[in-house]
């Protein structure tokens, strides 16, 4: 067996291995383990989307290779969604490319613009794929600390000038995983100015832009004047339409970035199964009451969790978007030891914040993507195990 390539050896270790082992041990002993760890919607894909997929499955034309850039009709649907949702007018042919889920495009964009030794600005805590894709492209991730006192927004002015000049890409993600923080248009305007100053490509991960509550409507980065000159936005049907397993998303915005990403993809994959594209189109262009029901369900779970956590001693504000809660660990614990203690003593899984970077130390994430009664049971177990916590 040959030696493993450096690009893979340099990837960070899988930080959840110990927790997965504990889960396996508990389940082997017939312990009922409740997971609050994975952000995977528990509700089924809406019926009208499944019906469209079933209809398109019968068409032999959809059984052949798809276009690696995506059907023009799919790209039109994405552009139409941007126009209705944000007032952003996109050219479907040149400013939208399909992805096998937004994760795939996020992982590959660094391959398009980063040479060995180039810098990529990566939020911390943040989705691990930003750093992982950078490392696989031979780039060097530079951490942008996301701190509570800054509303979990990066302080762009703190990036050293010599680092910014070496950087090729800056990754952003609002509404944010894992902290549930949100960003306004003024922040995005400052990002555009920063990108222009240092000739950066802004890559905004907007996977959670439609999971929001209490009348809040998260903005698109592409709404801001000048955004399309400096950046692209990654979108997905996974979270709003409960389609995580279908694997369909897009990148939209800057024409050169879209074209280069499409060119790369034409060399390494054969596109998204057309049946899946038709299903995604049914979600984007069809009735949105399914999304309203989904958000109402997550809001109910959010309020249940916030109330229970406050009873236990946490000071927590209801998040305005995403289906996550980001919380400090109680006194006497690290993120990892707290997660392990909950599995051992309560049979409840949470995600330690260090899985999202070093600035996740001292925090853990709860996901609301499980049946409400199971969430209630998990919170009751936590209360019985922890009592009232202190910090």
Distance, CA of 224 to CA of 193 (rounded, Å): 11
pLDDT at residue 18 in the model: 67
Q: Tell me how crowded residue 30 is: count the other CB atoms within 10 A of its CB.
A: 6
CATH of region 6-44+289-385, choose from 3.90.1150.10, 3.40.50.261, 3.40.1280.10, 3.40.50.970: 3.90.1150.10
pLDDT in tens, the chain (391 residues): 898 888 888 887 665 666 777 788 888 888 899 999 888 999 999 999 999 999 999 999 999 999 989 999 999 999 999 999 999 999 999 999 999 999 999 999 999 999 999 999 999 999 999 999 999 999 999 999 999 999 999 999 999 999 999 999 999 999 999 999 999 999 999 999 999 999 999 999 999 999 999 999 999 999 999 999 999 999 999 999 999 999 999 999 999 999 999 999 999 999 999 999 999 999 999 999 999 999 999 999 999 999 999 999 999 999 999 999 999 999 999 999 999 999 999 999 999 999 999 999 999 999 999 999 999 999 999 999 999 999 9
Burial of 314 (0-12, 13-18, 19+ CB in 10 A): middle
pLDDT at residue 387 in the model: 92
Under DSSP, is residue 192 helix (H, G, I), strand (E, B) or coil? helix
Say what the pTM is. 0.96
* Structural contact between residues 55 and 293, judged by C-beta atoms closer than 8 angstroms: no
pLDDT at residue 31 in the model: 86
Phi, psi of 325 (to 5 degrees): -125, 135
Q: Where in the chain is the domain with CATH 3.40.640.10?
A: 47-285
CATH 3.40.640.10 assigned to 47-285:
yes
Q: Where in the chain is the domain with CATH 3.90.1150.10?
A: 6-44+289-385
């Amino acid at each position: 067996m040959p030696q493993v390539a450096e690009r893979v050896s340099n990837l960070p270790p899988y930080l959840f291995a110990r927790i997965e082992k504990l889960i396996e041990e508990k389940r082997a002993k017939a312990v009922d383990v409740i997971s609050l760890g994975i952000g995977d919607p528990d509700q089924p894909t809406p019926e009208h989307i499944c019906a469209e997929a079933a209809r398109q499955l019968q068409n032999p034309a959809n059984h052949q290779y798809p276009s690696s850039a995506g059907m023009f009709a799919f790209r039109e649907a994405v552009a139409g969604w941007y126009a209705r949702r944000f007032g952003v007018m996109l050219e479907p042919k040149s400013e939208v490319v399909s992805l096998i889920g937004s994760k795939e495009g996020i992982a590959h964009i660094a391959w398009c613009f980063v040479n060995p030794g180039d810098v990529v600005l990566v939020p911390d805590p943040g989705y691990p794929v930003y750093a992982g894709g950078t490392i696989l492209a031979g780039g060097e991730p530079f951490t942008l600390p996301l701190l509570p006192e800054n509303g979990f927004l990066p302080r762009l002015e703190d990036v050293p000038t010599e680092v910014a000049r070496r950087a090729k890409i800056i990754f952003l993600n609002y509404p944010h995983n894992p902290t549930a923080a949100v960003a306004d248009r003024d922040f995005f305007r400052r990002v555009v100015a920063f990108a222009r100053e240092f000739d950066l490509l802004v890559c905004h991960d907007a996977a959670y832009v439609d999971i929001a509550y209490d009348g809040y409507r998260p903005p698109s980065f592409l709404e801001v004047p000048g955004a399309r000159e400096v950046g692209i936005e990654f979108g997905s049907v996974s979270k709003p339409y409960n389609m995580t397993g279908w694997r369909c998303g897009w990148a939209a915005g800057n024409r050169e970035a879209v074209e280069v990403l499409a060119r790369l993809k034409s060399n390494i994959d054969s596109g998204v199964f057309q049946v899946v594209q038709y299903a995604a189109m049914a979600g984007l262009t069809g009735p949105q009451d399914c999304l309203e029901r989904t958000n109402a369900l997550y809001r109910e779970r959010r309020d249940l969790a916030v109330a229970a956590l406050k009873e236990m001693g946490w000071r927590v504000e209801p998040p305005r978007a995403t289906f996550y809660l980001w919380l400090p660990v109680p006194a006497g614990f690290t993120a990892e030891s707290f997660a392990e203690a909950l599995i051992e003593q309560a049979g409840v899984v949470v995600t330690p914040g260090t899985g999202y970077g070093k600035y996740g130390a001292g925090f853990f994430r709860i996901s609301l993507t499980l049946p409400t009664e199971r969430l209630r049971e998990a919170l009751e177990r936590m209360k019985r195990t922890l009592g009232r916590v202190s910090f």
